[in-house]
Chains A and B, each alone.
Chain A
Amino acid sequence: MERHLLSGNEAIARGAYEAGVKVCSAYPGTPSTEIFENLPQYKDVLYCEWAPNEKVATEVAYGAAMAGVRSLCAMKHVGVNVAADPIFTAAYDGVTKGFVIVSADDPSMHSSQNEQDNRYYAKAARMALVEPSDSQECIDFLKEAYRISERFDMPVLFRTTTRVSHSKSLVTFGEREEQEVIPYQRNAAKFVCTPANAYRNHPKVEANLAALEAYGNTCPINKLELKGSKVGVITASIAYQYAKDAFPEDTSFLKLGLTYPLPMELIRDFASKVETLYVIEELEPFMEEQIRAAGIPCTGKQLVGRMYEQNPQRLRQEVFGAAPETVDVGVEPVSRPPALCPGCPHRGFFYTMSKGKDFVVTGDIGCYTLGAAAPLIALDTCVCMGGGFSVGMGLAKALEVTGQKKKVFGVLGDSTFFHSGMTGAAEILYNKGEVIPVVLDNSITGMTGHQDNPGTGYNLQGEMAAAIKIEEVLRAIGYENILIADPQDLAAMQQAVDGALASEVPAAIIARRPCLLIKRIPHDTGLCVVDTEKCIGCKKCLKVGCPALFVKEGKSYIDPNQCVGCTVCAQVCPVGAISRKETK
């Protein structure tokens, strides 16, 4: 059979296709994004979309499952926080056809603000939890997740981690299994969550979970690998792969795919067959706590750390005390943090902010979080999607009531504006906030790798779509003075900021220039060069924080391989030593 090398995310998309899924909705977020980037190849047989946020995506997918087709939504771990409201109610109301929610967790925070362990969501919301450990399981377990969802009448949380989603391993494909469509019929007692209905639904949920636990004792995705009787390991997800490398050949494994509810009978039986029982899991002691509470002695978090990503060498050290042999070459590398790209439109805005001594800038999740990095250091906060406006509101109120004279700018991007910035914009206007909302509109969802959003004019299926204008939304909310500037033109950017500060009516700023990495539009790129005769070595240009710019032998130097000719450094140079050559 032909083998394909697929990432976990590509395999989940393939699994959705093979499982006969018909409606899919998601908001991008690392490490989940590629699931939906790989769905449009199946658009002849399934509908897929980018929703404005994770809550909307979950509601869209859930509505489809109510209507009688298999549906999928996907998000990064913190996206589940946004979507938690419909998820908890969906767990009570159940489904007509299978409904799977993918949560891609990010241990070690490769691209995230925390490393929350979303397995607890399944327990808290009272629904099934399925965890694959490689790409083949992403396909096979997803199909099983749909069967579980339908048989036990509940949503299934399908949890991956960065190393499941972004690691590639070999898979074989199956055929698409078209599902019988259940014609839609109103079922208000099930799907209208009035208190009376919810009261009646809760016992059904508990009964379904009890039945699911019994099923877990024999289900095909919970696997026993009996080798020796000395050491047994209960594990799941990517931790299984680490443990297989870290533990000796003769170790017995109970490898779980259905991890909530835990199959306690199977676990008890496995525990009785081995002398020493380990529970190996990344992050929190989710399984260990439940296994201990069932009265089964085991070893886990007293040895294995609850922070950061695991790997076989770390696990071997933590469990067996065997430190890996390594070489110290004796040279310390300096840090290489991510930075705004050369030519990034956000640079001009943050450079302008960095000059205002009394400015407070409340930021958000996206490429523009990098405005916090040296030398710009032009960001005070970053909490969550949408928080740029509303955290700024609270900060401004606190400054206002305590008489501290500072100007607050609430900053977020175009995709974030549609995600949850619009409500913050309404909050600021409605409650008379002393905050200037700023939308850094680079016409794309940048950090996650260029997905379309309601402002870009295209949808996930590659069709032309309505392009919702940010200025019209802000105007409709009540911002009478909307200043639109090209952030790469520093004088224009400064003028917009000054104009907003002086405005007597509610003002908002849109800093608008498309991301240079957008492929479908032409960009006017060039190359800037330093005239070393004119350069006085004052290093003012270094303050724009461009990775293409550094000092060589006392003078500024521009790396021609990186420079795109944006001229922000040239506009800052006090002696006109930097100029743009038009060739590139």
Chain B
Amino acid sequence: MMERQSALLVGVGGQGAILTAKILVTGLMEVGYDVKMSEVHGMSQRGGSVSTQVHWGGKVYSPVIGPGAADILVAFEKMEAVRYAEFLKPGGVAVINDYELPSSTVAAGLCEYPAGCLEAMEAHFRCVTLDAAAEALKLGSAKCMNVVLFGAMAKALGMDQIDWEGVIAKVVPEKFLELNLAAYRAGRAAVK
């Protein structure tokens, strides 16, 4: 039985992490894994820090993990990568969007956005860093940033037995399919 794997997707409410997670679980289901996914709704969605967890394997019990248990961390915003770094296993992989979104506390002038988020992550984990917002804009829509990140994540996970492009076709609306496929490929290409 395959050992349980866990992915932690973190970002700021409204960044579209849920779609990324949905593509991931749809692909995992197709190849027969047991899958569980956990998200948080309600107040934290209003511009707060949010996280979505996906777990898969032969049999999955807990839909949530504690510190030191994620195999891969996908951060839609770089300070959020630092916030959730303790959840990543030592030796785990971090896919980080080189994107800075000041929190409301920073915007109000109450504190300063920390310097060196990317460097700190790179010093401790195997990291894939990309400017997914810029990649998305190059393709014509900032909205497909989440699928760019998914492409990077899929490459980093190395699960090439799954037909991810076919999965994306099932999950996203048809009129956005070409855009999202391009986003997926751009994300993959960003991983060396």
One of A192-200, A309-317, A430-438, A481-489 contacting the partner: A309-317
Residue from A134, A312, A447 in contact with B43 in the complex, judged by beta carbons closer than 8 Å: A447
9-residue interface stretch from B100-108, B155-163, B180-188: B100-108
A168 touches B68 (CB 8 A): no
Stretch at the interface among A64-72, A291-299, A324-332, A576-584: A324-332
A134 to B86, CA, bound (A): 27
Interface size, chain B (Cβ < 8 Å): 62
Interface of A is mostly: loop
A329 touches B121 (CB 8 A): yes
Whether B125 lies near A163 (C-beta < 8 A) is no
Does B142 touch A at the CB level, under 8 Å?
Answer: yes
Q: Which of A303-349 contact B (CB under 8 A)?
A: 309, 311-314, 324-341
Q: B62 to chain A: which residues have CB within 8 Å? A: 241-242, 244-245, 311-312
Interface presence of A226 (CB below 8 A): no
Contact status A169-B66, CB under 8 Å:
no
Partner of A333, one of B36, B63, B79: B79
Q: Which of A19-27, A352-360, A368-376, A497-505 binds B?
A: A368-376
A30: CB under 8 A from chain B?
A: yes
CB distance from A536 to the nearest CB of B (A): 15
Interface positions, chain A 519-547, Cβ under 8 Å from B, are 539, 542, 545-547
B64 A335 Cβ-Cβ under 8 A: no
Let me know if B172 is at the binding interface, CB within 8 A.
no
Does A166 touch B at the CB level, under 8 Å?
A: yes
Determine whether the beta carbon of B40 is less than 8 Å from that of A313: no
In the complex, whether B12 has a CB less than 8 A from a CB of chain A is yes
Of the listed residues B67, B115, B124, the one surrounded by the most CB atoms of chain A closer than 10 A to its CB is B67
Please state if B85 and A327 are interface contacts (CB–CB under 8 Å). Answer: yes
> In whole angstroms, how far apart are the Cα atoms of A241 and B38 in the complex?
13
How close is B87's CB to chain A, nearest CB, in angstroms?
A: 8
Cβ-defined partner of A111 (8 Å) among B39, B43, B102, B104: B43
A31 and B85: CB pair below 8 A? no
By the criterion CB–CB under 8 Å, are A168 and B104 in contact? no
Contact B34 A170 (CB under 8 A): yes
Contacts A169-B35, A245-B62, A327-B86 given; indicate if A313 touches B69 (C-beta within 8 A): yes
Tell me the interface secondary structure of chain B in the complex: mixed
Nearest-neighbour CB distance to chain B for A123, whole angstroms, equals 27
For window 83-124 of B, CB contacts with A under 8 Å fall at 83, 85-90, 102-117, 120-121, 123-124
Using CB atoms, name the residue of chain B closest to A317.
B66
Question: Do A166 and B41 have beta carbons less than 8 Å apart?
Answer: yes
Expressed in whole angstroms, the Cα–Cα distance for A550 and B110 within the complex equals: 11
Partner of B69 from the list A324, A333, A367 (CB cut-off 8 Å) is A324
Q: Which residues of B have CB within 8 Å of A34?
A: 41
Residues of B within 8 A of A491 (CB): none
User: Residue of A at shortest CB range from B43?
Assistant: A111
Set of chain A residues within 8 Å of B60, measured between Cβ atoms = 169
Tell whether A324 pairs with B104 under 8 Å between CB atoms, given A336-B79, A339-B46: no
Q: Are A331 and B29 in contact (CB under 8 A)?
A: no
Of A31, A167, A327, the contact of B90 (CB 8 Å cutoff): A327
Chain B positions within 8 Å of A330 at CB level: 120
B82 at the interface (CB under 8 A from A): yes
- Find the A residue at minimum CB distance from B85: A329
A326 and B114 in contact (CB under 8 A), knowing A168-B36, A170-B35, A333-B79?
A: no
Query: Given known contacts A5-B25, A331-B120, is B61 in contact with A338 (CB within 8 Å)?
Result: no
**Contacts A168-B36, A169-B36; is A374 near B110 (CB within 8 Å)?**
yes
Which chain B residue shows the least CB distance to A329? B120
Contact of A545 with B104 at beta-carbon distance under 8 Å, contacts A313-B66, A374-B110 already known: yes
Judge if A561 is at the interface, Cβ distance under 8 Å.
yes
A134 to B103, CA, bound (A): 34
| Distance to closest chain A CB from B160 (angstroms) | 22
- Chain B residues with Cβ under 8 A from A170's Cβ? 29, 34-35
B161 CB, nearest partner CB in chain A, Å: 19
23 contacts between A and B (CB under 8 A): A110-B44, A111-B43, A167-B37, A169-B35, A169-B60, A169-B63, A311-B62, A313-B68, A326-B68, A329-B121, A331-B116, A331-B117, A332-B82, A334-B103, A334-B105, A336-B103, A337-B104, A337-B105, A375-B109, A539-B109, A545-B108, A551-B109, A561-B142
Since A3-B29, A335-B103, A447-B42 are in contact, a sample of 17 more A-B pairs with Cβ atoms closer than 8 Å, ordered by chain A residue number, is A5-B35, A30-B41, A166-B38, A167-B36, A169-B35, A313-B69, A326-B86, A327-B90, A329-B121, A334-B111, A338-B44, A339-B104, A374-B108, A375-B109, A545-B104, A547-B104, A551-B109
* Interface residues in chain A, defined as those with a beta carbon under 8 Å from any beta carbon in chain B: 3, 5, 30-31, 33-34, 110-111, 134, 162-163, 166-170, 238, 240-242, 244-245, 309, 311-314, 324-341, 367, 370, 373-375, 447-449, 539, 542, 545-551, 561
